[in-house]
Amino acid sequence: MKKYKVIFLPDQKQVEVNEGTRLIEAGKEAGVYLNSLCGGEGVCGKCRVRIIKGKAKIDNNSVAFFTKEEIEKGYVLACQTGIREDLEILIPPESRLEEEQILSESLENKQKTWRESPPIHYSEPDWVSLHKRPSDPASLFEPLTSKIYLELPRPTIDDNIPDTGRIVRELRKKVKYPSYEIALPCLKDLFLKIRGSDWKITATLSRHNGIGQILQIEEGDTADKNYGAAVDVGTTTVVVQLVDLKTGRVIGVEGNHNQQAHYGEDVLSRIAYVCGRGSLDLLQKAVIENINVLIQTLAREKGIRSEDITSMVAAGNTTMSHILLGLMPCSIRDDPYVPTVDFYPPVSAKEVGIHINPQGIIQVLPSIASYIGGDTVAGVLACNMADRPETTCLIDIGTNGEIVIGNNEWMLSCSASAGPAFEGGDTKWGMRATRGAIEKVKIVDGKVLYETIGKAKPRGICGSGLIDLIYELAKNRILEIDARYSPSLQERRIVQGENGMEYIVAFPEETETGEALTVAQTDIDNIMRSKAAIFAAIKSLIDYAGLSFNQLERIYVAGGFGNYLNIEKAVGIGLLPDIPRECIEFVGNSSLMGARMALLSYHVFEKAIGISQSITNIELSKFALFADEYMASLYLPHIDRERLFPSVKY
């Protein structure tokens, strides 16, 4: 069969494939991932690419996705286009599935922020003596599923207990549970498996209500092949960590964009879709496909069989958790905001269609309320807030800002609708923390110094970049205290745009698109609304608890800020409270970390249930003064700077 060479731009990735291979497959082989919502059926039109060199005929069914100009320029759908000669392909930004920088607690960051809780590392699980250290949130190593190798004594006329009794008798010598249960599917061919393997087997074990559950019997010794998946089911991005359950080590991480986005950007619009004209099934399938693709990719990369992945813990907000399990989320959006469940029952992988071991356990972290989900519970776990006597605070900044305050005796939470400004929405050049996003900004002598993710040409600006920018604009008096562009300003970067004044962050010659990257007054207003909503929520919860900010021993900040958040500047714009900077810690994706901790410890998972039940959620609508706090926060840093932000000086 003939072979052809395909080069993918802008990354210059190259691959040689057989004649007739579809472009989308060639992309995958080259490590270029394309948007493909419909799974390559040619119906979603998301995998648009442009042929730069060489020729390929556009499929008749695809023409409706393009304008005449686009067809002339060489646009095709990658999933509908077979390769018949050497090609050079340009992937336009909208078709790229960029690697997320936000993915997880990245290594360098983990070192920095997780001083108190070092990465989990065990040489061997120790079942009998559980070494518990206080303030180590993941010390009770007991993965949700474990594999135990057993050599069964052969039955004799004096010892002719049933096969299952024989298994349990040996298991008891290694794991102490009060009793054991074996699921029916596991019993069907047990007779053959035991005898076919010379009475040497490996049992996959989980635990439910304290009772050992045998999920699987394998022939021979497979105890070293046991993996789990920790999943952060975000509204925007889905991230999977593959974890070796024998050692607790993370062996890989992958993320992609939540394919539900095609049915609505945020949680409310997706609920509206499901409960209006749309279908729950479609959204459930979309996110399950997200997870399956990530798991499959990781398994292939690491040379692991998917059947050896025996458990998965997912953390997500309440809506994401409901949809993942196929539960109607409709009542979440309607006053009085009641979800169907808070504690999600464990289900088998087969039951929800996750492509790991069909008998594998899927556990979704419990929610607290309609707008405080398992991702927040995961954050509380990751920061070990519920075990310490000191009062700490978790601020998770996203489209909703979730705030938890408390200690080992009490915990309060609330959720503020902040809007997507810090996640790349609501602003013209806003983008998520992916390749090409400006994540750091400094203004020195009228010059704008910035850094982009991946050192690429700027494609936009992400949350941490916006915080830096607003701070720098305020410090340089380009923005007034009321966050409006100074009208008297003489500055070549200030121009008059369609929607009022704009500040040029990067000139056309600097950017990838060749257009100027600007921040208009309307953009600033949107960011200010987000930061005001979050700060007002923190302030309201602190007041509700009868505390002041300096009584907080520590503030943990989580959210989609990539690897970087300048704490000083976040306080400087009035997003975070003005407490000593060393008491504020950016923890990145605490949802994923909490999910992994629960995956690695049944005890931590049980603690999650306890946390979800013990946190008192406060509806912001109950705070009489919330609106006042919000209005007072629409300033840089705050209308009451002297009392609330004494250390902030521009």
| Tokens standing for residue 536 | 């007002």
Shortest separation between residue 557's beta carbon and its own copies, angstroms: 28
Interface with its own copies, residue 639, by CB under 8 A: no
Residue closer to its own copies (CB basis): 581 or 622: 622
The separation between the first and the last C-alpha atoms of the chain, rounded to the nearest angstrom, is 68
- Name which of 29 and 619 has its Cβ closer to its own copies: 619
Verify binding: residue 622, its own copies, rule CB under 8 A.
yes
User: Residue 5: helix, strand or coil by DSSP?
Assistant: strand
Among the candidate windows 16-24, 249-257, 337-345, 403-411, which touches its own copies by CB under 8 A? 337-345
For its own copies, give the closer residue by CB, 82 or 326.
326
Query: Residue 191, interface with its own copies (CB under 8 A)?
Result: yes
| 3-class secondary-structure state, position 116 | coil
- Alpha carbons within 13 A on the beta-carbon side of 534: 31
Confirm or reject binding of residue 144 to its own copies (CB under 8 A): no
Site map (CB under 8 A) of its own copies, residues 200-239, x = contact: ---------x-x----------------------------
328 contacts its own copies (rule: CB under 8 A): yes
Rounded least distance, CB 211 to its own copies, Å:
6
Sole binder of its own copies in the list 26, 32, 91, 182 (CB under 8 A): 182
- The nearest distance, CB 352 to its own copies, in angstroms, is 8
Pick the stretch among 225-233, 299-307, 321-329, 450-458 that binds its own copies (CB under 8 A).
321-329
DSSP state of 501: E
Q: Nearest approach, Cβ of 262 to its own copies (angstroms)?
A: 23
Side chain identity at 458, as an amino acid letter?
P
- 195 is a site residue for its own copies (CB under 8 A): yes
What span, in angstroms and rounded, lies between the C-alpha atoms of 202 and 148?
5
DSSP assignments along 130-177, one per residue: ----TT-TT-S-B-SSEEEEEEPPPPBTTB---HHHHHHHHHHHH---
- Give me the least distance between CB of 383 and its own copies, in Å please: 25
Q: Which of 275, 306, 251, 237 is nearest to 99 (CA)?
A: 237
- Nearest residue to 608 (alpha-carbon basis) of 588, 586, 593: 593
- Which residues from 238-267 bind its own copies, rule CB under 8 A? none
Does position 553 interact with its own copies (CB under 8 A)? The reply is no
Pick one of 12, 60, 160, 490: the residue that binds its own copies (CB under 8 A): 160
**159 vs 390, beta carbon nearer its own copies:** 159
189 binds its own copies (CB under 8 A): yes
Near its own copies by CB under 8 A, which window of 81-89, 135-143, 340-348, 495-503?
340-348
Applying CB under 8 A, which part among 135-143, 153-161, 383-391, 596-604 lies near its own copies? Answer: 153-161
Q: Which of 52, 107, 161, 631 binds its own copies (CB under 8 A)?
A: 161
Size of the site for its own copies (CB under 8 A): 49
| Residues 430/460, Cβ–Cβ less than 8 Å | yes
Instruction: Determine which residue in the list 113, 296, 297, 340 makes contact with its own copies, applying CB under 8 A.
Output: 340
DSSP string covering 287-325, please? HHHHHHHHHHHHHHHHT--GGGEEEEEEEE-HHHHHHHT
Cα–Cα nearest to 236, from 264, 204, 209, 198? 264
Q: CA 640, CA 292: separation in Å to the nearest integer?
A: 50
Nearer to its own copies (CB atom), residue 181 or residue 512: 181
601: which DSSP letter? Answer: B
Closest CA to 458 of 401, 517, 500: 517
Read off φ and ψ for residue 238, nearest 5 degrees.
Answer: -115, 130
- Taking the complex as a whole, the smallest distance from the CB of residue 609 to its own copies amounts, in Å, to 10
* Class of residue 303 by CB neighbours under 10 A (exposed 0-12, middle 13-18, buried 19+): exposed
345 lies in the binding site for its own copies (CB under 8 A) = yes
- What are the tokens at 300? 């292939």
- The residue (of 489 and 609) whose beta carbon lies closer to its own copies is 609
186 closest CA partner among 357, 347, 24, 66: 357
Question: Does residue 123 belong to the site contacting its own copies (CB under 8 A)?
Answer: no
Give least dist CB 264 to its own copies, A.
19
The answer to whether residue 621 forms part of the interface with its own copies (CB under 8 A) is: yes
Helices and strands (H and E) in the chain: how many: 18, 27
To the nearest 10°, the Cα dihedral for 131, 133, 136, 138? 20
417 forms part of the interface with its own copies (CB under 8 A)? no
- CB of 338: closest distance to its own copies in angstroms? 5
Residue with tokens 């605490």: 590
- Give the count of beta carbons closer than 10 Å to the beta carbon of residue 265: 16
Q: Does 335 bind its own copies (CB under 8 A)?
A: yes
Of 20, 153, 162, 500, the one binding its own copies (CB under 8 A) is 162
Contact 30, 87 (CB under 8 A): no
| Residue 174 CB contacts under 8 Å (≥ 6 apart), including other chains | 127, 148, 150
Query: Should residue 326 be labelled a site residue for its own copies when binding is judged by CB under 8 A?
Result: yes
Q: Which is nearer to its own copies, 345 or 446 (CB)?
A: 345
The stretch among 297-305, 322-330, 499-507, 573-581 that binds its own copies (CB under 8 A) is 322-330
Minimal distance, residue 342 CB to its own copies, in Å = 5
Question: What kind and span of H or E run contains 616?
Answer: strand 616-617
Rounded Cα distance, 586 and 345, in Å: 32
CB of 306 to its own copies, least distance (A): 22
For residues 347-376, which are near its own copies according to CB under 8 A?
347, 351, 367, 369-370
Q: Using the rule CB under 8 A, give the single segment among 344-352, 394-402, 473-481, 631-639 that binds its own copies.
A: 344-352
Which residue ranges make up the site for its own copies (CB under 8 A)? 155-157, 159-166, 179, 181-184, 187-192, 195, 209, 211, 325-328, 330-331, 335-343, 345, 347, 351, 367, 369-370, 619, 621-622
